[in-house]
Amino acid sequence: MSTHLHNALDWLRGTPLRIILILAGAISIQYFGSRAITRAMNRLASTDLIPGPGNMVARQKERARTTGTVLSSTLNSIVWVIAIAMLMGEFGFNLGPLIASAGVIGVALGLGAQTIVRDVLSGIFMLVEDQYGVGDKVSILEIQGVVEKVGLRITTIRDANGTLWYLRNGEILKVGNLSQSG
């Protein structure tokens, strides 16, 4: 075996192989993690956790679908941030200053995005507590109508006049649900 071929094989076994392994690992974690989340949420959506009327099953499916979407997005973000950091390390970037600046930028963004964080956290608790769901007749703030969409950040309600209202979940302090009995 010639010296050039030996050097080329040694080079391929180094950084390029590690880059391929990082990318393959990130893709496989994303794929299998998303599959596991989807399967768990489908199982949760089809299980009758709360015996009662049939509309509760539809609400449970909607909550499971929303929760699955949030978990999948979170998993994908974490996997790719770590993979990109590992790839940058393989290309010789010094990650210490980058991580320090990311911490400072994260604090600045956190202070600037307080309302978004409040809206999302309120949306998560609203979904977990099952305060209202799609199709419920509700009274929120001074608006009365039917819930058309429930998101982590925004809830949309159509009133009797046909107006579609977009309400940030962080600003919803009181909810009257006319559809829930008992």
- CA gap 118, 171 in Å, rounded: 9
Q: Does 168 share its domain with 86?
A: no
Report if residue 141 sits inside a domain. yes
Report if residue 74 sits inside a domain. yes
Q: Does 87 share its domain with 117?
A: no
Report if residue 69 sits inside a domain. yes
Q: Does 149 share its domain with 117?
A: yes
The CA-atom distances, in angstroms, between 63 and each of 51, 60, 85, 171, 180 are 16, 5, 33, 20, 16
Write down the mean pLDDT value for the chain.
83
Helix runs in the chain, H state only: 3-13, 15-46, 55-90, 95-112, 114-129
Q: Write down the pLDDT at residue 60.
A: 73
Model confidence over 6-17: pLDDT tens digits? 777 777 777 888
Q: Does 5 share its domain with 94?
A: yes
Report if residue 79 sits inside a domain. yes
Q: Does 91 share its domain with 118?
A: no
Instruction: Report the CATH number at residue 46.
Output: 1.10.287
- CA gap 43, 32 in Å, rounded: 16
Q: Does 70 share its domain with 130?
A: no
Q: Does 5 share its domain with 91?
A: yes
Report if residue 30 sits inside a domain. yes
Positions of the chain with pLDDT lower than 70, given as ranges: 1, 48-59, 181-182
Q: Write down the pLDDT at residue 151.
A: 81
Amino acid sitting at position 64: A
Number of domains making up the chain: 2
Instruction: Report the CATH number at residue 164.
Output: 2.30.30.60
Report if residue 107 sits inside a domain. no
How many C-beta neighbours within 10 Å does residue 107 have? Answer: 10
Q: Write down the pLDDT at residue 49.
A: 59
Classify residue 90 by burial, with Cβ atoms within 10 Å: 0-12, 13-18, 19+: middle
Instruction: Supply the range of the domain harboring residue 154.
Output: 113-182
The residue written with tokens 């399967």 in the block is 39
Q: Write down the pLDDT at residue 25.
A: 95
Report if residue 24 sits inside a domain. yes
How many C-beta neighbours within 10 Å does residue 95 have? Answer: 12
Query: What secondary structure letter does DSSP report for 140?
Result: E
